[in-house]
Structures are given as C-alpha cells and as structure tokens.
Amino acid sequence: MAAREDQGPETTDLICCRCERLCDPIDVETCPVCKQLFCTFCTYRIGSRSYCSRACGDSFFFGGGDEEDGDE
Ligand SMILES: [Zn+2]
Ligand SMILES: [Zn+2]
C-alpha cells in the first residue's frame, strides 16, 4: 500500500473482445477461458458464470474444465 502511483484514471485498454467497444471497468469481465475482456452486453452465461462467448462458455462448461488435474 506504500507505493501507489498517481491515482489518475486508469487508462488500461478495456476493450471488449467481442464488440470492440471501449468499456467502463465495471462493465467488463475477464473470460476465464480465453482471458479476454468482454462487456456486459456480450456476456454469455452458462451455469453460474459468465463468458465472452458461447464457444468459451460451452468449452469450459462441457469440456471438463472443472478442476485442473495436474496434467500440464
Ligand atoms: Zn462487448
Ligand atoms: Zn472467452
């Protein structure tokens, strides 16, 4: 907590990977599958989680990505 740099508005690129819109931080989430940012408008929900796309959601939900099995 000591080294907090300037507290200006963060200019991280919060671009939705789907619609490529510049979003507010509260409007974006990170896809647990592809690690890309997606906005609330592009959210694909399956189970109790949100994903950037149906492809990601389905692959995670049905693809057995529930637990890492120590297989690198
Ligand atoms: Zn979007
Ligand atoms: Zn994704």
Question: Per-residue confidence of the chain (72 residues) as pLDDT tens digits?
Answer: 656 666 665 556 799 999 999 999 999 999 999 999 999 999 999 999 999 999 999 998 788 645 555 444
Interval between CA 39 and ligand 2 midpoint (Å): 11
Find the 15 Cα to ligand 1 centroid distance in Å: 8
What is the pLDDT at residue 50?
Answer: 95
18: its two tokens: 């789907």
Q: What is the pLDDT of residue 43?
A: 96
At 72 the pLDDT is: 45
CA dihedral in degrees (4, 15, 33, 50; nearest 10)? 100
Q: Quick one: pLDDT at residue 9?
A: 59
Compute the distance between CA of residue 31 and CA of residue 25 in angstroms, rounded to an integer.
14
Compute the distance from residue 57 Cα to the ligand 1 centre, in Å. 15
What is the Å distance from ligand 1's center to 71 Cα? 33
